Amino acid sequence: MMRPDIGRIGLAVTSGSHAGLSEGEICSAIEQALSDHIDKLRKVLIIPPDITRIHSGAGMITQHLYRLLNKNCIVDILPALGTHVPMTREECALMYGDIPFERFIEHNWRRDVVRLGEVPAEFVRSVSEGIYNEPIAVEINKLLLDPSYDLILSVGQVVPHEVAGMANYSKNIFVGCGGSSMINGTHMLGAFYGLERLMGKDHSPVRQVFDYAEENYIKELPLVYILTVVAPYDDAHGIYGLFVGRDRKYFEQAVKLSTERNIIFTDKPFSKVVVYLDENEFRSTWLGNKAIYRTRMAIADGGDLIILAPGVNKFGEDELIDRLIRKYGYIGRLNILDLVEKNEDLKSNLSAAAHLIHGSSDSRFNITYCTKHLKKEDVEGVGFRYFPFDEAIKLYDPKKLEDGLNNVQGEEVYYVSNPALGLWADRKKFFAD
């Protein structure tokens, strides 16, 4: 069976309406993009995000792709877990509807990957301005190399990101379906370079590493990206852009739209920011610290970040990472870099070290986690302040707060209902670099 000519697959659709693109418009556009190949396909691999990207629109798109393709071919689904815990049957049903659970394949970032080569140290040194001088191994899930797949469809949301600068595109492959070496290396590269320097930017050092790996190691894969740009409207989340194709230009178009829709500039930093973490989406500080990453450039020196985290019940997504977070804590960039040099367990898990750097304010502002399931001593043990969730929502009730500025008992509070949907930044700070 001849694989499709993926170079001919390309489409971009955007919407200027308040509610974004309708489900019908999205499904029709995808059918149009794949129309010349649907009847010829015999086996397809879909790579969507997991439950932590439930608002990406990828669940609906994956359902439609399955119904569209399942009539004539075998469809396997490999959620891009990265380091996250596997999805449960219930989570798959919540995000992907009636797709049979048996079609889902679990990605294990420690065991299921093959090494394709490496991004040379001299290239990494060049793109990081000499800050990071190590080669980065290129590893992906072995399923992507299975020649029986006629087509691989990578589905996901382009949005500002704390490691890559802008999420998705080849990140979905090299991190979402990647191995420990690539994940550790790129996370540490981003942490060394500085997340405030790269968030919301396209050509970050990490993205350039992904581009190198794409061009040199997976160019021949029958891979097509389906990218969304999502922004909130009222109580829902609208898809304002759909970009389908392998060529990088589709990612760049998505980045441009995401910059317009997902970066919320403020004219000043705020003394108090309150962020709510949906309990279905955020169950660990590994994920929940998006509340820190995405708002830190909007918080004043000496200010307070209050994180309402009803679902957070652990720190890491797996037992090893959880132990490392509990052992070392969010104690600041320089302290973590020193510990990496002296401790083999941290040196062997650089993604954890990078996470600890990202999750610290470096004493610039205070971070308070308001939890139901983690105890006071647990939260304070990793370097955060603690406040009981049930008491916190009496002061900062998500049902009463509106995104943006609020007056709470005479105090100015800036509220963010979902940090995964954007980046909040003081304009001066964002453009300082």
What percent of the chain stands above pLDDT 70?
98
Pairing label, strands 366-371, 385-388: parallel
Lookup: tokens for 397: 């009730």
Distance CA 363, CA 122 (A): 34
Lowest mean pLDDT among 150-159, 224-233, 410-419: 224-233
Question: What is the per-residue pLDDT for 433?
Answer: 61
Distance of CA 14 to CAs 59, 63, 162, Å? Answer: 19, 21, 25
Residue 274: which of 409, 77, 124 has the closest Cα?
409
Phi-psi category of 410—alpha, beta or left, where left has phi over 0 and alpha has psi -120 to 50? left
Residue 406 reports pLDDT greater than 70: yes
Give me the DSSP letters along 175-190.
TTTB-HHHHHHHHHHH
Question: What is the per-residue pLDDT for 273?
Answer: 98
7/147: higher pLDDT: 147
Query: Phi and psi at residue 126, in whole multiples of 5°?
Result: -65, -45
Lookup: tokens for 391: 């008491």
For residue 85, count other CB atoms closer than 10 A to its CB.
19
Residue 233 reports pLDDT greater than 80: no
Q: What is the pLDDT of residues 375-401, one digit of tens each?
A: 999 999 999 999 999 999 999 999 999
Question: What is the per-residue pLDDT for 289?
Answer: 97
By CB atoms closer than 10 A (0-12, 13-18, 19+), residue 103 is middle
CA count, 13 A, side-chain hemisphere, 11: 18
What percent of the chain stands above pLDDT 90?
85
Q: Give, as one character, the DSSP assignment of residue 204.
A: -
* Helix spans in 263-310 (H): 285-288, 290-293
265/4: higher pLDDT: 265
Distance of CA 248 to the CA centre of its chain: 19
Distance CA 410, CA 169 (A): 44
Distance CA 297, CA 293 (A): 8
Q: Give, as one character, the DSSP assignment of residue 208.
A: H
Q: What is the mean pLDDT of residues 404-415?
A: 95
Q: Do 284 and 307 form a contact (C-beta atoms < 8 A)?
A: no
Largest CA distance in the chain: 68
Look at the pTM and tell me if it is higher than 0.85.
yes
Residue 235 reports pLDDT greater than 70: no
Strand partners of residue 408: 411
Q: Do 288 and 282 form a contact (C-beta atoms < 8 A)?
A: yes
Lowest mean pLDDT among 126-130, 180-184, 270-274, 328-332: 180-184
Q: What is the pLDDT of residues 62-120, one digit of tens each?
A: 999 999 999 889 999 999 998 888 999 999 999 999 999 999 999 998 899 999 999 99
Residue 231 reports pLDDT greater than 90: no
Q: What is the pLDDT of residues 304-353, one digit of tens each?
A: 999 999 999 999 988 999 999 999 999 999 999 999 999 999 999 999 99
- Helix (H) or strand (E) holding 389, with range, is helix 389-395
